[in-house]
């Protein structure tokens, strides 16, 4: 099955809020939150679905950051890659 993505222009400011925050705020265990800074090409695709609706993004001038709930740094990168496959990591991943 082919995934349908939304083409975005990364020069313009884009903010996508997390819509399903209960995944990482719920009791009994809280999932760690990771901040990932990245750069993008001028045009790219975002594949938003129920599996990644708890990821928030802020993009402007081909740079941005994502706040990703995940159990590990590796999982956070994988989850962001599923959402936005064309990003390049800009700096170290930070645990919030």
Residue 15 is assigned to a structural domain of this protein: yes
Residue 1, pLDDT score: 45
What are 23-53's pLDDT values in tens digits? Answer: 555 555 678 889 999 999 999 999 988 888 8
Q: How many domains is the chain partitioned into structurally?
A: 1
What are 56-65's pLDDT values in tens digits? Answer: 999 999 999 9
Residue 1 is assigned to a structural domain of this protein: no
Produce one character per residue of 65-90: b if its CB has 16 or more CB atoms within 10 Å, e if not: bbbbbbeebeebbebbeebbeebeee
Residue 64 is assigned to a structural domain of this protein: yes
Domain boundaries, position 42: 6-95
Residue 57 is assigned to a structural domain of this protein: yes
Residue 40, pLDDT score: 95
């Amino acid at each position: 099955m082919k995934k349908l993505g939304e083409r975005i222009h990364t020069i313009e400011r884009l903010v996508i809020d997390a819509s399903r925050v209960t995944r990482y705020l719920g009791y009994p265990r809280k999932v760690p939150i990771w901040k990932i800074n990245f750069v993008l090409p001028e045009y790219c695709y975002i594949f938003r679905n129920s599996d990644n609706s708890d990821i928030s993004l802020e993009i402007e001038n081909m740079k941005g950051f994502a706040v990703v709930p995940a159990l590990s740094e590796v999982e956070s990168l994988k989850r962001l890659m599923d959402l936005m496959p064309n990003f390049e990591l800009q700096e170290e991943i930070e645990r919030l």
